[in-house]
Structure 1
Amino acid sequence: MATSQGPAQRLFGAGKRLLGSLLATGETRLRLAVLELEEERARLFGLLLLAGLSLILLLLGIGVLTALVIVAFWETHRLVAIGASAVVLLGSGLLMALRVMQLARRRTLLAGTLRHLATDRDLVEASREPR
């Protein structure tokens, strides 16, 4: 024998389905956030490794180049060569520091998750508007 549901039971059932949908959507977004964090961690590790190696090689190259310039002008203009090398190195270091600060201000962490959450919010708001 089929039992008929009253309005309160149908409302309760609809609420449970809505809650289940919200939980499923939240779980999907949380999984996306975790995946993005893992990808970002791997990317940062590779980036730090490459940056460290490039800094070591760059430091060695700059040292050799500075020594070459100073030795080349040792007899005639050694102080000018030392001063010019110092100015070039300090200026380059300052420009690189400014570029690093500019890159550090960019927001990339969880960009995909935030974009999907904004899409979800727009869809919910669009469904609430009267047609």
Structure 2
Amino acid sequence: MSASQGPAQRLFSAGKRLLHSLLATGETRLRLAVLELEEERARLVGLLLLAGLSLVLLLLGIGTLTTLVIVAFWETHRLTAIGASALVLLGSGLLLALRVMHLARRRTLLVSTLKHLATDRELVETRRDSP
């Protein structure tokens, strides 16, 4: 700054620098948020494909195993074998559903962006409070 600038010009210049700094910080945080969303989308698509394939294979395996158990006990305890197989399948399904509910409640979306924004806010507050 030169000594020939008046107070109004210095204030205007400081305001422009502040606005430029805010826009640059906002752009950086927005880029980070977009990057996180793209990564989360790619992870989710891969996860859904693997989950679908594993579900199909598990259903085929469980069906085959259940049939094997029922056929093995057909002459002696067919109703017991059917009931036990049903209880095992229902219990396993319930446990897995509870696990999925637990995992679905976890926050993973934009965690890094929110952390950086909180850090930015803390830095601004500490600079504002210090003389």
Name segments (4+ residues, structure 1) moved above 3 Å.
Answer: none
Unpaired stretches in structure 2, ≥5 consecutive residues: none
Q: CA deviation at 1:109?
A: 0.2
Alignment of 1:41-52 (within 5 A): 41-52=41-52
* Structure 2: distance between partners of 1:130 and 1:76: 84
After superposition, the CA RMSD in angstroms is 1.2
Please tell me whether residue 79 in structure 1 is matched to residue 79 in structure 2.
yes
Matched length:
130
Equivalent residue number for residue 19 of structure 1? 19
Q: CA deviation at 1:130?
A: 2.4
Give 3-state SS (helix, strand or coil) of 1:122's partner: helix
* Structure 2: distance between partners of 1:53 and 1:118: 39
Task: Tell me the TM-score normalised to structure 2 length.
Answer: 0.96
Task: Tell me the TM-score normalised to structure 1 length.
Answer: 0.96
Equivalent residue number for residue 120 of structure 1? 120
Unpaired stretches in structure 1, ≥5 consecutive residues: none
CA gap 1:120/1:100 in 2 versus in 1, 3 angstroms? same
Identity rate of aligned residues, in percent? 84
